[in-house]
Amino acid sequence: VGSGTWMMVGSHAGHNASIGEGCILANGVGLSGYSIVGDGSVLGGMSGLHQFTRVGRFCMVGGLTKVVKDVPPFTLVDGHPARIHGLNVVGLRRKGFSQEDRLQVRRAYREIFVSSSIDREALTRLEQDQSLGAYVKEVLEFIHGSKRGITPWGSRRGHDD
């Protein structure tokens, strides 16, 4: 459990789970074994992570959300099962991300998730773009490192800058 992390009443971290720095796990959050929560992420009450799932940095997981696939960095997810509903704009602003950084990440996600699933050709194009910032590179590395698959994009698209 990282420095500055809050685990509220009834939260549980299973065996070999890892929680980054500055995270908030609201009441009743359950992390199954070997799950990983990245720095600065917030997990809403009664949300749960399946074994071996990863939540990237600075994510917001809504209350009662069932996470069965990896949640890429900087996203807002909700649902049963989880779906991505945009960037965690409020969290990114609070962490000091510039508007340009947020816009670059948003553009990358729009290319990657043309539909609800990942466009592999878009990943290849983005990897070859030398102008991309560190945050987009982090997203690409996270997606490539997934063993359980990536949480799909939800149907609503109006939740970012």
- Provide the annotated active-site residues: 15
Q: What is the dihedral of CA 121, 74, 28, 152, to 10 degrees?
A: -20
Say if CB 61 and CB 67 are below 8 A apart: yes
Angstrom distance (rounded) from CA 98 to CA 90:
12
Closest residue by Cα to residue 23 from 3, 51, 53:
3
Angstrom distance (rounded) from CA 45 to CA 31:
12
Q: Is residue 90 exposed (0-12), middle (13-18) or buried (19+ Cβ within 10 Å)?
A: exposed
Residues 6+ apart with CB under 8 A from 113: 84, 119, 152, 153
Helix spans in the chain (H): 89-94, 99-112, 120-128, 134-144
